[in-house]
Every structure is written in C-alpha cells, then in structure tokens.
Amino acid sequence: MSSGIFELLGNALGGTFLDILPIILVLGFFQIAAIRKMIPHLKQKMIGLVLVVLGLGIFIVGLEQCVFPIGTQMAHQLTDLYFLAGNDSTRMEILQNSKHIEPGIYLWTYVFAFLIGFSTTLAEPALIAVAYKARDITTGAISAWGLRISVALGVAAGVTLGVYRIVTGNPLHYYIVTGYVFLLIQTWFAPKQIIPLAYDSGGVTTSTVTVPLIAALGIGLASSVPGRSPLIDGFGLIAFASLFPMFTVMAYAMITEKRTKRKEIDEPS
Amino acid sequence: MDVFPIIVVIAFFQLVIIQKPFPDLSQTLFGILLVVIGLFIFILGLESALFPIGEKMANEFALKGNPWWIIFFGFALGFSTTIAEPALTVIAGKAGDLAAGAGAIESDKNAIASFVLGLRFTVAFSVGLAIAIGVIRILKGWPLIWFILGGYSLIVITTFFAPQEIIGIAYDSGGITTSTITVPMVTALGVGLATSIRGRNPMLDGFGLIALASLSPIIFVLGYGIFIYGASGL
C-alpha cells in the first residue's frame, strides 16, 4: 500500500512537471531571446518552482486517494435508480420502464451538486491564487474570502442547474445563451472595476479539483437517467460552472459598492 | 482549512443520506492530510516563484517597448500550456469516441487519434490567440466588454450551425483549458503589464486574459465540429 502511494506520487509529480515544463521553456526562451538578462534571485525562484510542482503533486495524490473515489462513488449511488426508488425494487422497475421521469425525484442529487460545487471551489488552488492577487491590487477592498465565497456560490448554483438540465434533457445552448443575455444586462449595472475580474472568475473556477468531480457527476447522472446519453448529455456541467460565477462576482461587487456608499452617507467626514 | 467543506459535505451524504459506513477510512484521512500539505506547499511556491517571475517578465517587456515580443510571448504561453493540459487530453479523447460513434470519422484508432490531436491543437491555438489578443487589449487599454460582447455573438452564431454532438464539449472546453499553473502565470502577466504601462489600471486592464482564454476555445471547437461533422441548421 505504501509503495502504491509512492508510485502515485511519482506519477502526479511527473504530470505536474509536464504541466509546468512548457511554461519554463517559454519563459527561458523569452528571457534569453527577448530580454537578454539573467533572472534575479534565480536560485530562490527555482526553489519556488520546485515547491509549486511538489505541492501540486502531493495535493493531487491526496485528491485521487480520498476525494475523487468517494465523490464518484457518491454520484453513482445518488443517481442509482434503486436508491431513488427508496430501495424498493417494484418501484424501480416502474421507473426504469417509464419514458418520462419526474425531475423531482432527483432532489438529493441537486442538493449534492450544490454542496459539492460550493465546497470544491473553495479548495481550488487557481482561485486562491487569483483571489490573493485581487486582494493585493485593491488593497483589501475585495477580500480574498469574499471573492472565493461568491465564486463558490456561483459554481454551486451553476452545477445544480446543470444537473437539472441533464435530468430534463433540455438543449444546453438554450440555457447558456439565455445566461449570456442576462450576464450582459448585469454587466451594464455592475461597477466597472469588477467586470474583468468577474469574467475571469468564470474560467478560473474550473481546474484541478472541480473538473474531475463535476465531470464524474455529469457522466454518472447521464448514464443512469433513462433516455439520456452520457456522451451528449453528460457534458455541459463545466459550462454552467464557468458561467454562474460571473453573476455572483458582479453581484458581490454591487453589494459591497452599495454598502460603502451607504457608509459614506451615514458617516460624513 | 480549504478542504474542510468538501469533507463535511461528503461525510454528511455518506452517513445521513446513503447511510453506509465509509470504505477505507484510514486511507481517506491520509488523503486529506496530503491535500492539506500539498496546498500549503503550492501556495508557498506560488508566491515565491510563479507570481514574481510572471510580473518581472511583464515588467521587462513593458520597459523594452517592443509590443510584438509581448504579443508573441502571450501566444506562446497560451499555446504551450494548453497543449500539455491533462484535463483537455481527457475531454478530447471522449470527444473522439463520440465522433467515431456518430460515424463522423472512421472508428479505427488512427482516425480517432488524429481527430483528438486536431482538437487539442485547435483549442491550444485558440487559447494562444486569445491571450495574444488580450495582451493587445491591455496595451491599447480597450474595454474588455467589447471583446466579450463580440465573443458571445460569435458563439451564438456558430452554435446555430454546429452539430448537436459538439456543443456540450465545445462549451465545456472553455472552462477546462485554464489549469492551476496557467491561471496564476497568466494573471501575473496581465496584472504586471497593466501595472508597468502608464495610464493602465491593474484592476480594469490587468484582469480579463483568462476570460478571453475561456471564450475563444468555444468558438474554435464549434468551428472544428462544423468542419468535421458538416454544418447543421437548427
């Protein structure tokens, strides 16, 4: 068992190294060809890069060891027709043969989708990185936690709606295009400063932690709901998860702006 | 701290809803320990290496004053990091099986492999292009929203002609392309660039590269789908 862990760790470190190798090559090439200067504090930076690879590698092994197997298993158990039928095999047969499935019986799957979307986003390293950057630039006006929680709420709402779409089998692009329209309307009213960050947060959220878990949920669901094809209906959850954080981040900025304005009115200096 | 909510959610569902004991409890706890340690080391490295390097590069480029180098740098960074992205490889593989199943390409190994490679190149090229355009935007100080608006319009138009099979994958590919290492790097580049150029606001101009990099793959993968499957009216 312990040798298995080391093998996994080796694989993960190799994978992370491959992930960072193109960046190092590109950086090296441009440093030599375009800038023609030595990188200052080269040794310290190299140690930092080793830490990035090592940390991400260990992180991924931990995920693969504990979070992914349980998450995938849970997605399967929750969408299992036998579980949905309340562990009653006659009801299960009725469900299996019925052409139309009441979207309501997947209640627990929706709750699970919401909570898992929320919690995995909080653990997303890429989002932590961007949140720190935003906090530093705004000197704390946008708090790292505020941003992370609003993004996490957005992912949670998005994944839940995405799961509902898989159950009902509606076309994905109706939802997404409607989302775009609302997004543009909200952009009109949102504080200008937040717009680029809000649109960035859509792509940032879906990385190492969220993608595999959510993809497993979608494909598990699409293969167990009668009448759905995993290949056509199983995709799309990530699209939802990248769309909704834009709403919530803009909403977060609108709320904070309103609050600071009210404070200024309340306490005239 | 950061993974605590995941643990609570999973424990709640396992014990209360599904009502079965945890399989391999000790292994799970060990995994959680690894996650916490790994995340801590990653953030340490991020703040001591990836962020400073990205900003330093952006700074040097801004001082050099030759915009073509920065634009080229943006393209190279976007392309090279996406082509190696593991999540993209997985999704592209699934898309290949789907295309073979639908009879759009022949279902032998070579045909699928070349479809998958084509898809990966398409996405990588589109991310590179998006970062390059995003860099031009920062240099010029154009508002991001026009690019978003244009991108969304293109997505909606292309979706009309795209075959059903590709739409889900295309829309997903936007979120997948930006990995845990690419995001901090690209963010550092954008913010560093906006900080070094006079008259640019890091908040207003520095962010937005990721947004473009998640938008353009959707358009290009839809286009790739039309190219492979042939156009289909809705």
Reported as a single tens digit per residue, the pLDDT across A149-194 is: 999 999 999 999 999 998 888 888 889 989 999 999 999 999 988 8
Is residue B10 in a domain?
Answer: no
Does residue B203 belong to any structural domain of this protein?
yes
In chain B, which among 150-209 make CB contacts under 8 A with chain A?
Answer: 152, 155-156, 159, 164-165, 167-169, 171-172, 174-185, 187-188, 191, 201-209
Report yes or no on B101 lying in a domain. yes
- Count other Cβ atoms within 10 Å, centred on residue B1: 9
Q: Is the pLDDT of residue B130 over 90?
A: yes
B35 domain-assigned: no
Q: Which residues of A touch B13 (CB under 8 A)?
A: 74, 78, 108, 112, 115
CA distances to A8, A250, B150, B188 from B54, rounded to whole Å, are 30, 27, 28, 5
Q: DSSP labels for chain A? A: -HHHHHHHHHHHHHHHHHHHHHHHHHHHHHIIIII-SPPTTHHHHHHHHHHHHHHHHHHHHHIIIIIHHHHHHHHHHHH-HHHHTTS-HHHHHHHHH-SS--GGGGHHHHHHHHHHHHHHHHT-HHHHHHHHHHHHHTTTSS-HHHHHHHHHHHHHHHHHHHHHHHHHT--HHHHHHHHHHHHHHHHHHS-GGGHHHHHHHHHHSSSTTHHHHHHHHHHHHHHHSTT--HHHHSS-HHHHHHHHHHHHHHHHHHHHHHHHHHHHHHS--
- Nearest-Cα residue of chain A relative to residue B16: A108
Report the C-alpha gap between B146 and B154 in whole angstroms: 12
Query: Is B159 part of any domain?
Result: yes
**Residue B1: what pLDDT?**
59
- Average pLDDT, whole number, for chain B? 83
Give the A:B interface size as CB pairs under 8 Å: 336
Task: Say what the pTM is.
Answer: 0.82
Instruction: Measure the CA–CA gap between A93 and A73, rounded to whole angstroms.
Output: 22
How many structural domains comprise chain B? 1
- The answer as to whether B21 is a domain residue is no
Q: pLDDT tens, B46-74?
A: 888 877 887 787 778 777 767 888 899 88
Please report the pLDDT score of residue A100 as a whole number. 63
In this prediction the ipTM stands at 0.81
Q: Give residues 139 to 168 of A whose Cβ lies within 8 Å of B.
A: none
Tokens 């209360």 belong to residue: B16
Residue B33, domain member (yes or no) = no
d(CA B98, CA B94): 6
Domain assignments of chain A as residue spans, ordered by start: 1-64, 80-266
A22 to chain B nearest CA, in Å? 5
In a domain, B92, yes or no: yes
Q: pLDDT band for A1, please (50, 70, 90 cuts).
A: very low
Chain B residues within an 8 Å CB radius of A54: 38, 41, 45
DSSP B84: T
With CB atoms and an 8 Å threshold, state whether B181 touches A55: no
Residue span of the structural domain in which B126 resides: 49-229
Q: How far is residue A237's CA from residue B82's CA, in Å, rounded to a whole number?
A: 20
Tell me, rounded to whole angstroms, the distance of Cα A87 from its chain centroid.
32
pLDDT digit string, tens, across residues B82-94: 887 767 777 787 7
Most confident of A30-44, A99-113, A254-268, B136-150: B136-150
- What is the C-alpha separation between B75 and B125, in angstroms, rounded? 8
